[in-house]
Amino acid sequence: MRRLSTLKTIVDILFVFAMIAVIFGLPLILMLIIIPEQVPITFSEGRSPSGIDFIGFLFFIYVGYLFFVYALYLFRKTLELFRKRIFFDNRVIKNLDQTGKAILIGVVIMIIPAILLRLTESPIELEVNIGLNDTLITAGLGLFFIVLSDVFAMAKKHKEDSDLTV
C-alpha cells in the first residue's frame, strides 16, 4: 500500500499543476485573440502569435490537454477506490475504460494541428519515421488503460462465478 500512496500523491500533485495550466490556458488564448500585443509570453516559433493558424493550433492543443486532465482526474478516482480496497467494482472498470478513451481522444485532437501544419507548409516532404515517439507511447498508454479495464471486467466475472460455486 505504500507504493499506492506514493503513486496517489504524485498523481494528486500532477493534477494540481495540470489544473493551474487549464485555468490559465484559456485566458491566454482569449488574450491572443482579443489583445495580442498585451500577451506577456513570447513564442519561439517565429510566427505571429496573433495569427489565426497559431491561435487555432493553440486551441487544439488546449482541448487535447483538457482530455488528458480529465484522464488524470479519472485515474485519481480509480486510485482512491484502490486505496479503499475496492478493486473489482463497476466504477473501477468504467474509470479505467474512460481514462483510456480520454487519452486516445486527447492524442487524436493534439495530432490534428500537427498534420494540418505539415499539409499547409509549401514544400511537401514525405518523412517516414520508424521508432518510438511521444504520440505512439501516449496512444499505447490509452490502449493499456482500455485493456486493463477489460482485464478487470473479466476478473470481476471470474470472481463472481467463483463466489457462486462456493
Grouping H, G, I as helix, E, B as strand and the rest as coil, residue 123 is coil
The closest alpha carbon to 146, from 103, 106, 108, 111, belongs to 103
Asked whether residue 103 carries a pLDDT value surpassing 60, the answer given is yes
Domain segments of the chain as ranges: 2-40+47-120+130-165
Grouping H, G, I as helix, E, B as strand and the rest as coil, residue 129 is coil
Q: Retrieve residue 43's grid coordinates.
A: 513564442
Question: If you compute the radius of gyration of the chain from its CA atoms, what whole number of angstroms results?
Answer: 20
The closest alpha carbon to 148, from 86, 87, 76, belongs to 87
The per-residue pLDDT for 36 is 75
The per-residue pLDDT for 50 is 58
Report the phi/psi class of residue 46: left, alpha or beta, with left for phi > 0 and alpha for psi in -120 to 50.
left
Summarised one tens digit per residue, pLDDT across range 13-66 is: 999 999 999 999 888 888 888 887 777 776 655 555 556 777 888 888 999 999
The per-residue pLDDT for 32 is 81
Asked whether residue 78 carries a pLDDT value surpassing 60, the answer given is yes
Summarised one tens digit per residue, pLDDT across range 105-149 is: 999 999 888 787 777 764 545 455 555 578 889 999 999 999 999
The per-residue pLDDT for 46 is 52
Which residue carries 487544439 as its cell? 60
The pTM is what?
A: 0.82
Dihedral sign, CA of 74, 77, 81, 82? positive
